[in-house]
Amino acid sequence: MNHNMPRRVAIWIDHREAILITLKGEQVTGEEELFSEVGPHTHGGGWSQHRIEAHRHEVLKHYYEEVVEHLGPVDEILILGPGQAKHELDQNIEHHKGLRGKVVAVHGTSRLSEHDLIAEAERFFALDIQQPQES
């Protein structure tokens, strides 16, 4: 096996779930799903809303850290997803020394399955990924 093949990770993320697909060359070498414990945004006002939003921010911060911990050594990162989570994760990654500059693109997409995420990674990285046939 060629050890010089780039290691790439494609991530689909929103505030509740992250799917990570790891690729080495044109092989899928890992698939992971992570979940956050974040609650919905609150509406209204006052001190309690401020406390709830501050707690939500902390939960998301830990969630992004967990996603980053699962990246490992990587050459290129593609981040996909709806809303702000993809941008927040990108900012979090840029604060990690070993990962700074590794995000090659951040694109908005609707919900993707693992299979769809692999197809998006294949298109983006111009690969011909051989996926195992499901029986």
CATH number for the domain that contains residue 32: 3.30.420.60
Count of structural domains within the chain: 1
pLDDT in tens, the chain (135 residues): 445 788 999 999 999 999 999 999 889 999 999 999 876 655 566 657 677 778 888 899 999 999 999 998 899 999 999 999 999 999 999 998 889 999 999 999 999 999 999 999 999 998 777 655 454
pTM of the full predicted structure? 0.85
Number of Cβ atoms within 10 Å of the Cβ of 59: 15
The whole-angstrom separation of Cα 66 and Cα 36 is 9
> Considering the domain boundaries, does residue 108 fall inside one?
yes
Boundaries of domain holding 21: 7-124
> Considering the domain boundaries, does residue 132 fall inside one?
no
Write down the pLDDT at residue 128.
72
| DSSP E strand stretches across the chain | 7-13, 17-24, 27-35, 76-81, 103-108
